Every structure is written in structure tokens, then in C-alpha cells.
């Protein structure tokens, strides 16, 4: 079985703990207008078409085993995207193989796949997005409601310790004090886990343009003061915050 990817390389302490070999998988069921990796959509084609490649699961495992000496500080292999669970069967096969090979695994996901809990025993470190507290607004901005995400966060929190939930703070979307209070009411009810706040950036804007897509985000920046205020509200509700 093969995995469709658009990027592969090492990163340190960004896509999970330690030094990691990161595979960016093609495809995503969301259409977030602030996405920094729009090239994951094969439909972009054009300038990014040469980035797409199919790699056999066995080759991923071979690469990972050969790179073990580089997995310092608790590193390993991370699957991200796009959204890695859109290639669910191949992802599961790769995770199984890496587990058998003794390689630490991490998955970064939007948390929407209904079968995600099947992968929990195969994932050492799980990172899930929680993009909005309100399902209707979540659907407006991503194309889908947040019910599966919340269900999977609750399930993950109940089954594992190495869980990180990320909130991308986007101005005009989910970064107001009212939003912070809503998240503060929601998150503790799902379980105990650290929450990382990621401030909006425009790193993907040029990629959208090279894909021939319109980048529609405007005035979405979040100041340091706004982020700190948001974090303070969450901490006041007992949430462990990474900012």
C-alpha cells in the first residue's frame, strides 16, 4: 500500500517531541481559508504538481529505521497534512509497521475522522485541532461541524496521556474574549490535557496564489496582548495553556 505525500523532512519540537521525520500527507476534508499548506490538495496542480509523490508504506518504515540515530530528544516519525486520516488505511498500516519497528509515532489531525480512536493504540503522541467551540461556526469556516472533533478529543483524553489540543487563534473567527470564555467552558468538560494556542499567520498566502486560489483572510492577525488575554481566561478555568 502507498501513501500520497507532498512534503517530507525533519523538524525539531514543532510536529511532536524531539527531532522528527515528518510526512505531509495529501488531502483534507476541511477547507480552512487560513490553511498554510494549500498545496496538499492535488487539485491545485500547476506549480505544486511536482511535489506530489506516492511512497510505499514499507519504504516509510525503511526510512524511519535508517534514521533512528537522528531521533534525539524523544523524536520519531510524524504524520501530518493536509489531513492524514483522509488516507486512513495507509496511515494505519504505516503506524502498525513503525510500532513493530520500535519507532516513536505522532499524528497531527483535525480530529474529525469517525474511526480515529482505532488508531489510538498505535500513536505515541497525538495532536488534535479544536478550531471552534461553536459547531455552526466551525462548519462555516471549515465545511464541517465540530461534533466528531469534540467526541474524539473526549475519547483521546480518556484513553491516553500524550495528548495535545491546539487552537489556531484567528482574528474574526475564534479569538475574542467571548470565544475564550466559550472554550473555557467547553474544554474542561472534555478531559484534562494541555492546550496550545497558535496565533494566525499568513505563511500560506503566497501558496494560495501560486495554486490559483483566492486567499480570502483579511484583518485576521491576533496581537500578543489578545493571545495572552485569551490564555488567561483559559487558565482561569483550570486549562493548562501553552502560548
Is 60 exceeded by the pLDDT of residue 89?
A: yes
Is 60 exceeded by the pLDDT of residue 204?
A: yes
Is 70 exceeded by the pLDDT of residue 46?
A: no
Is 80 exceeded by the pLDDT of residue 41?
A: no
Which residue's entry shows cell 474524539? 152
- Nearest Cα to Cα of residue 19 among 68, 71, 65: 71
How far apart are alpha carbons 19 and 10 in whole angstroms? 7
Q: What is the mean pLDDT of residues 157-170?
A: 92
Q: What is the mean pLDDT of residues 215-236?
A: 96
Q: What is the mean pLDDT of residues 189-213?
A: 91
Q: What is the mean pLDDT of residues 142-167?
A: 95
Q: What is the mean pLDDT of residues 37-59?
A: 72
What grid cell was written down for 230? 485569551
Average pLDDT, the chain: 93
CA distances from residue 82 to 32, 38, 39, 191 in whole angstroms, order as listed: 11, 8, 8, 26
What grid cell was written down for 120? 489510538
- Domain 2-242 annotated CATH 3.20.20.70: yes
Q: Cis link prior to 7 (omega < 30° from 0)?
A: no
| In the chain, alpha helices (H) | 57-66, 88-100, 135-142, 147-159, 177-190, 205-210, 224-236
Is 70 exceeded by the pLDDT of residue 9?
A: yes
At 213, the pLDDT band (50, 70, 90 cuts) reads confident
pLDDT at 79 (0 to 100): 98
pLDDT at 47 (0 to 100): 54
pLDDT at 48 (0 to 100): 53
**What radius of gyration do the chain's Cα atoms show?**
18
Q: What is the mean pLDDT of residues 26-38?
A: 92
Q: What percent of the chain has pLDDT over 90?
A: 81
Amino acid at each position: 500500500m502507498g501513501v500520497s505525500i507532498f512534503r517530507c523532512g525533519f523538524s525539531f519540537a514543532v510536529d511532536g517531541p524531539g527531532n522528527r521525520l515528518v510526512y505531509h500527507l495529501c488531502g483534507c476534508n476541511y477547507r480552512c481559508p487560513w490553511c498554510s499548506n494549500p498545496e496538499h490538495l492535488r487539485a491545485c496542480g500547476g506549480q505544486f504538481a511536482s511535489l506530489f509523490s506516492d511512497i510505499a508504506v514499507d519504504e516509510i518504515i525503511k526510512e524511519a529505521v535508517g534514521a533512528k540515530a537522528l531521533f534525539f530528544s524523544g523524536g520519531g516519525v510524524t504524520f501530518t497534512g493536509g489531513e492524514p486520516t483522509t488516507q486512513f488505511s495507509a496511515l494505519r498500516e504505516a503506524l502498525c509497521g513503525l510500532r513493530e519497528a520500535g519507532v516513536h509515532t505522532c499524528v497531527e489531525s483535525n480530529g474529525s475522522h469517525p474511526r480515529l480512536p482505532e488508531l489510538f493504540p498505535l500513536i505515541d503522541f497525538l495532536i488534535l485541532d479544536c478550531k471552534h467551540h461553536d459547531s455552526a461556526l466551525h462548519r462555516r469556516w471549515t465545511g464541517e461541524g465540530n461534533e466528531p472533533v469534540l467526541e474524539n478529543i473526549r475519547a483521546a483524553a480518556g484513553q491516553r496521556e500524550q495528548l495535545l489540543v491546539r487552537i489556531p487563534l484567528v482574528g474574526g473567527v475564534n479569538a475574542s474574549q467571548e470565544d475564550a470564555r466559550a472554550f473555557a467552558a467547553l474544554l474542561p468538560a472534555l478531559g484534562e490535557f494541555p492546550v496550545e494556542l497558535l496565533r494566525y499567520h499568513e505563511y500560506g498566502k503566497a501558496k494560495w496564489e501560486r495554486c490559483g486560489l483566492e486567499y480570502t483572510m483579511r484583518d485576521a492577525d491576533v496581537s500578543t496582548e489578545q493571545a495572552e488575554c485569551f490564555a488567561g481566561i483559559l487558565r482561569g478555568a483550570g486549562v493548562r495553556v501553552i502560548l
